[in-house]
Amino acid sequence: MSTLLVVLALVPLLGVVAATAALLAAQVRTERTSRQALEAVVVTGQVSAARSALAREVFLTSARTRLDDAAQRQRLGPAVVLALGSALPEDDLVGARRRTDTALAAAEAASAAGRAAAGVAADLVPLRTAVDVTRSWSAVAPGFGSLTSQLATAERLAVDDALAGGVGADVAGALLELRTATEAVALGSDEALEVLDGLVTADGAVAGRAARDAWASTAPLEVLEESPSRAVRERSAALLAASTGLRADAVAATRAAGGTPDRRLAPRLSALVEGLDDRSAGLTGLAATTSARAGALTRAETSSAHRDVVALGAGALLLCLLTGAAVLRTSVALGRPLQDLAAAAQQVGRGELLAVDVTGPREVRTVAEGLAATVASLRRLQEQARAVVAGELGSPVLAAPLPGPLGAVVHASVTELVQAMVDRDRLREDLTHRATHDSLTELPNRARAMELLDRALARSRRDGGVVGLLFVDLDRFKQVNDTAGHAAGDAVLRAVAARMREHLPAGGTACRLGGDEFLVVVEDAGDAQLLELAEALVDAVSAPVGFAGAEVAVGASVGVARTAGGTAGREELLAEADAAAYQAKQQGRGAGGGPAAPGGRGRVGFYDDDLRRRLTGARDLEEALARALRERELVLHYQAVVGLDPGGTTDAVTGYEALVRWQRPGHGLVPPSEFVPAAERSSLVCGLGRHVLLEATRQLARWSAGGGAAARRTVAVNVSGRHLVSHHLLQDVRDALEGSGLEPHRLVVEITETVLVDHALAHERLTALRALGVRVAIDDFGTGFTSIAQLRRLPADVLKVDRSLAAADDPASAELVRLVVGAARTFDLAVVAEGVETPAQLDALRAASCDAVQGYLLHRPCPPGAEAPEVEAGGAAVREPAPEGTARDVGAPPGASSGTAPRAPRPRPAPPETVTTTAPTTPRRAGGR
């Protein structure tokens, strides 16, 4: 049975596939090549005919245009002109042009050569027009030569395309003869033009070239004399003989034409022109003969290849029929068993793992047994796949391998797949945890916190429950980072997170928002419970944390907010808790808004109706202040700064401090203590500072316009920390100085001592201001954390002693003032004392050699009048400008206003590199990482 199957099926099929495919492909290629060669031969003949016609037109055009030239006719003489004219064909130029157009139109435009002929036809029109208009051959000769060359190139390319296809030897020889014949035609046309040019122009150089031993066109003709075609050989021999005679006539004629022409030259020239024309016609005929021969051989080869393809196809068809008959006979013997086996295989292929019947001949049974074993293995694999899909990765089915080497590979693949799924699940859990939890504290992160809060609020809206939110903000965390390092800060954050988890009630969740901010979400807890939890968190967080053999401690400010029945959204609840934490932090700071003491415990703030009203009022105040800046409701009051004379006889005003007031509609004059903090909390403080800079410098410029002492005085402007570190400050100062025309050294920028501690860019900005020529004063000196030893590093020109030191009556304070004055003189700084209210204070400051003073004893802040404020010597009396419809003074509280009275400009010390503080402050949100 196996031998029969091999003989009847395998051998015939292999024979049909191998032999038929190879032979048929070869014959088809041969036929296609022959057809392409035939097409190329046809195109070559068409283009060759077109080129011959164009060459004849060129020859006639050259002859006619030259004979029409008056100078040429006079030089040649009437007899020669008449002879040359009579030698030209009767149809003359019109007929030549008509034949050229016909030949060019006959070329097939589908081929490259045909497209070249079409291009030549288009380019020929303007050349003919130029000939008819100018009657000059020299103007158009290059153009005609270019067109002839294009057609010659197209001929060569067409022949090369035919040869490139791999034609037979006979066809290849005929194509080579065709290319040689076309070359002879081209050379003959060029020689005819050259001879004509020598005859007409009598050019010696042309005559020399025409007199060479042999013309170039004879070389191709000598090659064609060896052609297998008798017709080609005979035509080539005849043309060679004609070329020999024409060459002798051309040499004699051109030599005679170079001398003085006479009547004897005319008959010879006429015969030469007729001979050249006949020779061109003969070359054209030779090309046509070679083209016809190449076409005949190519058609014969194409027909032969076509017959071979048909014969081979018929043989292949017959072989297929015989093979089909054998297969049909075999199918009768195998019949039903193979059909059943095929049907079973199709069902298995569709995924139906059915039982396979093992029946039929031995070969069929063998195949059926193999298919049955395959079905059994697939069933085992199906069970394993179901276990994997169901997630039963520990099922015993997965541990049983399939039989055979393939089973071992499949089992290894299943094992790897199971392990990969286990690893994927583990990795997914880990990534999910990392995406929703803080890597340092393992608490839920901000994104997870927002999700948990949204869920809690959704449950509250659905069930009418309560959601409590605790905003925990660490105090003094930045100090831990700065003093003990970030590793200590990390330890503190981990300890805080652990302690918060320990104090959470059931259902409560602690989250880290980032930096030193935490959030606790509690559901169904009353106000008392929330406050109790907040106090517990403050106590837990405030406990010291051991690190590197030492202890570090932070505090906590906790803001509590709650919502019931879904009355507030997530953002609103967060804002309320944040506001409550901010209020708690502000209440926990030291006097004057400084940081809480290092051992401070922290505070708890609850967002209630009172806080809501205060925040609403603050928001309204900010909006009104923004409107005040737009409507120019802010005005400046000025307090004189008086320079002290040790003898008390020549005290005089050396400058002023500009203090901002708000002329608020419906409220009257508002002091800065009520609106400056609101500006500090918002971005309005930079606009406020810009307004004060512009108005103060302009007012001082107006006072200085009259000359005198006012032209030497200064004006001091307080600049907030936010404005100082903004990138607008330097430009604002430049704009104020340029707008007022004030000299830079007459502007004094005042900053508080705490700004140097709270803002890292403060030193850089102050150094840049001094580089502009502006003077810098440190306000409220003595209330911050700057040591006297650091004065030499401060980027400042003036120290302003705080009123708490200047107004003190105890000997220790007086000694401290003298110490500050002495240290300031050591570092070339001027000293101004603030808050002088009694003659005794003034005498004490004079005895301490203070440079200048300001205070209510000498001058109260007042609006600008027509003249600058003056103070009499000794400070016994005060002269003030008349008020301009406003209150004379608003009674600014101590610390709400300050003044600066610098002495004459001193050489400035080098800018400081660093400033060291004894106890750095911790502004809200500081220390976040």
Q: In this structure, what token pair is assigned to residue 164?
A: 């490139």
Tokens 């944040």 belong to which residue? Answer: 578
**Strand-pair partners of 613:** none
Residue 358: what pLDDT?
67
Beta 878-879 vs 852-853: how paired, if at all? unpaired
Residue 202: what pLDDT?
53
DSSP for residue 774 = -
Residue 601: what pLDDT?
64
Q: Are 106 and 46 in contact (CB under 8 A)?
A: yes
CA–CA separation, 474 and 925 (whole Å): 8
C-alpha angle 668-674-679 in degrees, rounded to nearest 5:
110
CA–CA separation, 813 and 558 (whole Å): 39
Residue 734: what pLDDT?
95
Q: Which residues contact 10 (CB under 8 A, 6 or more apart)?
A: none
CA–CA separation, 430 and 413 (whole Å): 25
Nearest to 159 by CA among 46, 41, 298: 41
Residue 355: what pLDDT?
72
Q: In this structure, what token pair is assigned to residue 359?
A: 């029946």
Of 859 and 268, more confident: 859
> How far apart, in Å, are the Cα atoms of 917 and each of 121, 393, 580, 775?
97, 64, 30, 23
DSSP for residue 790 = G
CA–CA separation, 857 and 845 (whole Å): 13
CA–CA separation, 130 and 126 (whole Å): 6
Of 532 and 426, more confident: 532
Q: How many residues does the chain have?
A: 929
CA–CA separation, 118 and 5 (whole Å): 64
Residue 599's identity, in one-letter code, is: G
CA 658 from chain centre, in angstroms, equals 50
pLDDT at 200 over 80: no
CA–CA separation, 227 and 120 (whole Å): 32
> For the chain, what percent of residues have pLDDT higher than 90?
18
424 phi-psi bin (left φ>0, alpha ψ -120 to 50, beta other): alpha
CA–CA separation, 446 and 553 (whole Å): 25
Residue 69: what pLDDT?
67
**Element of type H or E holding 794:** none
pLDDT at 433 over 90: no
Query: Helix and strand tally (H, E) in the chain?
Result: 30, 18
Residue 499: what pLDDT?
93
Residue 910: what pLDDT?
32
- Residue 73, judged by CB atoms within 10 A of its CB (0-12, 13-18, 19+), counts as middle
Beta 517-523 vs 668-670: how paired, if at all? unpaired
Average pLDDT over residues 650-657: 90
Beta 668-670 vs 714-718: how paired, if at all? unpaired
Q: Model-level pTM? A: 0.43
Residue 142's identity, in one-letter code, is: P
Q: Are 795 and 911 in contact (CB under 8 A)?
A: yes
Q: How confident is the model at residue 701 (pLDDT cuts 50, 70, 90)?
A: very high
> How confident is the model over 68-90, as pLDDT tens digits?
766 666 666 665 566 666 666 65
Residue 228: what pLDDT?
79
Residue 654: what pLDDT?
93
Residue 901: what pLDDT?
32
CA–CA separation, 782 and 890 (whole Å): 26
CA–CA separation, 927 and 929 (whole Å): 6
pLDDT at 653 over 70: yes
Nearest to 685 by CA among 694, 699, 695, 675: 675
> How confident is the model over 295-317, as pLDDT tens digits?
777 777 777 777 777 777 787 78
**DSSP, residue by residue, 856-909:** TTT---B---SS--EE-GGGS-EE-PPPSSS-S---PPTTS-------S--PPP
- Return mean pLDDT, the chain: 75
560 phi-psi bin (left φ>0, alpha ψ -120 to 50, beta other): beta
Q: Which residues contact 702 (CB under 8 A, 6 or more apart)?
A: 864
Q: Which residues contact 424 (CB under 8 A, 6 or more apart)?
A: none
Nearest to 35 by CA among 304, 215, 263: 304
DSSP for residue 80 = H
Task: Kindly report which listed range (244-253, 689-698, 793-802) carries the lowest average pLDDT score.
Answer: 244-253
> How far apart, in Å, are the Cα atoms of 8 and each of 52, 363, 829?
64, 16, 119
Q: Which residues contact 307 (CB under 8 A, 6 or more apart)?
A: none
C-alpha angle 368-371-375 in degrees, rounded to nearest 5:
135
